C-alpha cells in the first residue's frame, strides 16, 4: 500500500526543504575545500592547491599516535558492545516478562543522560581506583555511551526475524542452543556487524569521555582536535576532518552492504526498511 501517493508538497515547501539540506551539508564541502588550501592561514577563497595540511597531519607523531589510541578504544568498545547488546536484545525482543519497560528505560538511559554527567561520574570513580588515563577507562566509558545505539540497531534487526525459524529447528530435534547458533545468529549477523560499525564510528568521534578519562599518553584524535580548535582555528584540523568524513562514508557504505546482505537472507525486508528512519 503506497500511503504517500496523494500528498504533493508544493514548490515553496520543496525549496525550503532543499534549503535545509543545503544547511545540513554546508560545512562538509567547505572543510574539504579548506583542507587543500595552499595558504598559511585560513583565507577565502584558497589561493591555490596544496597537500601541506595532510603532510602536517600524517607527518606528525602526535596526530598519528592519537589515531592509534582512538582505533584501540573504538575497536575494543565496539566488540564489547556487540556482545553485550546482542545478548540483551534477545530477551528484550523475544522474551515476555514483567517490568520490561523499566529494563528498556535502563538500557536506553545512557543515550538520554548528558554524556558530560556520565563522564564526570566515571572520572570520580576511576580516580579512586587509578584507572584514569588508560585506554581501558575510555573503552569502558565509550561502551556505556554506545550500548544503547547498538541495542537499538540489534532490536530492530531481531524484530525482523521470524521466531518460527528457530522453533522449526527445535521441533526438528535441535537443542535451543544449536537452533540459536545455527539459525538465529547467522541471520542476525548483518545486524550485529552494522551495530559494531556504528559503535566503532561513534566511539572514534566521541569527545567528552576521553576528554575527562584520557591522559597525556592517551589523547584520542577527538581530544587532540578539541585542544587545537579551542586554542586557534588552524587548517591542519581541516585535513584531520576530511580523514574523519572519509571514515564516516566508509562506515555508511559498509553498513549499506550489511543491510543488503540482510535482505538476501530473505527475512523481514520491509521491517528493516522502516528501521532506517
Partner 1 sequence: MSQSARNLACADIGRTESKAHAFRRFRMSSLWLLVPALGFLALFFAYPLTAIVLRSFEGADASMTLEHYEAFFSLPIYMRILWQTIEISLMTTVLCVLVGYPLAYVMANSSPMVRNVMLLMVMLPFMTSVLVRTYGWMVILRPTGLLNHVAELAGLPHFDLLYNRSGMLIGLVYTMVPYVVLTLFSVMRGIDGRLVSVAHSLGAGAWSAFWRVYFPLSLPGVAGASLLVFILSSGFYITPRLMGGDRDQLLASIIAYQVDVLLNFEFASAIAVILLVITLICFGIYARLVGLKQLLTSRT
DSSP 161: S
From CA 220, how far away is CA 100, in angstroms rounded?
A: 37
Query: Would you say 149 and 191 are in contact if contact means Cβ atoms under 8 Å apart?
Result: no
From CA 151, how far away is CA 135, in angstroms rounded?
A: 23
Could you tell me how many residues of this chain bind partner 1 (CB under 8 A)?
109
Query: Would you say 206 and 198 are in contact if contact means Cβ atoms under 8 Å apart?
Result: no
Nearer Cβ to partner 1, position 64 or 113? 113
- Which of 67, 88, 136, 165 is in the footprint of partner 1 by CB under 8 A? 88
Please, what is the minimum distance in Å from the beta carbon of residue 112 to partner 1? Answer: 5
User: Judged by CB under 8 A, which stretch of 61-69, 71-79, 153-161, 182-190 contacts partner 1?
Assistant: 153-161
Nearer Cβ to partner 1, position 118 or 219? 118
Please, what is the minimum distance in Å from the beta carbon of residue 48 to partner 1? Answer: 17
Nearer Cβ to partner 1, position 59 or 246? 246
Site for partner 1 in 164-203 (CB under 8 A): 164, 167, 170-171, 175-177, 198, 201
- Provide the CA 177 distance to its chain's centre, in angstroms: 30
Site for partner 1 in 234-253 (CB under 8 A): 237-238, 241, 244-245, 248-249, 251-252
Q: Please name the residue that has the C-alpha cell 561502551.
A: 143
From CA 199, how far away is CA 143, in angstroms rounded?
A: 8
One DSSP character per residue, 27-50 reads: HHHHHHHHHTB-SSS--SS-SSB-
Query: HSE on the CB side for 173, CA within 13 Å?
Result: 0
Site for partner 1 in 90-149 (CB under 8 A): 90-92, 94-97, 101, 103-118, 120-125, 140-141, 143-144, 147-149
Site for partner 1 in 20-49 (CB under 8 A): 20-21, 23-28, 30-31, 34, 42-45
Site for partner 1 in 52-81 (CB under 8 A): none
Amino acid at each position: 500500500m503506497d500511503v504517500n501517493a496523494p500528498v504533493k508538497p508544493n514548490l515553496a515547501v520543496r525549496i525550503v526543504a532543499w534549503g535545509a539540506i543545503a544547511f545540513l551539508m554546508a560545512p562538509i564541502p567547505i572543510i574539504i575545500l579548506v583542507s587543500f588550501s595552499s595558504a598559511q592561514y585560513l583565507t577565502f577563497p584558497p589561493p591555490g592547491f596544496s597537500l601541506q595540511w595532510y603532510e602536517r597531519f600524517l607527518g606528525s607523531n602526535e596526530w598519528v599516535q592519537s589515531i592509534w589510541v582512538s582505533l584501540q578504544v573504538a575497536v575494543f568498545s565496539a566488540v564489547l558492545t556487540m556482545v553485550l547488546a546482542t545478548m540483551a536484545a534477545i530477551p528484550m525482543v523475544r522474551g515476555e516478562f514483567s517490568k520490561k519497560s523499566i529494563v528498556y528505560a535502563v538500557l536506553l538511559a545512557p543515550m538520554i543522560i548528558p554524556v558530560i554527567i556520565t563522564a564526570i561520574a566515571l572520572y570520580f570513580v576511576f580516580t579512586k581506583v587509578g584507572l584514569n588515563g588508560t585506554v581501558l577507562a575510555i573503552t569502558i566509558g565509550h561502551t556505556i555511551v554506545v550500548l544503547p545505539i547498538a541495542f537499538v540497531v540489534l532490536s530492530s534487526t531481531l524484530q525482523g526475524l521470524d521466531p518460527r525459524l528457530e522453533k522449526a529447528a527445535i521441533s526438528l530435534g535441535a537443542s535451543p542452543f544449536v537452533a540459536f547458533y545455527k539459525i538465529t545468529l547467522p541471520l542476525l549477523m548483518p545486524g550485529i556487524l552494522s551495530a559494531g560499525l556504528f559503535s566503532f564510528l561513534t566511539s572514534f568521534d566521541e569527545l567528552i569521555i576521553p576528554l575527562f578519562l584520557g591522559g597525556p599518553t592517551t589523547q584520542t584524535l577527538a581530544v587532540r582536535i578539541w585542544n587545537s580548535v579551542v586554542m586557534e582555528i588552524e587548517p591542519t584540523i581541516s585535513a584531520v576532518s576530511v580523514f574523519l568524513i572519509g571514515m564516516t562514508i566508509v562506515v555508511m557504505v559498509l553498513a549499506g552492504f550489511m543491510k543488503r546482505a540482510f535482505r538476501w537472507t530473505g527475512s523481514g525486508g520491509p521491517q528493516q526498511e522502516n528501521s532506517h528512519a
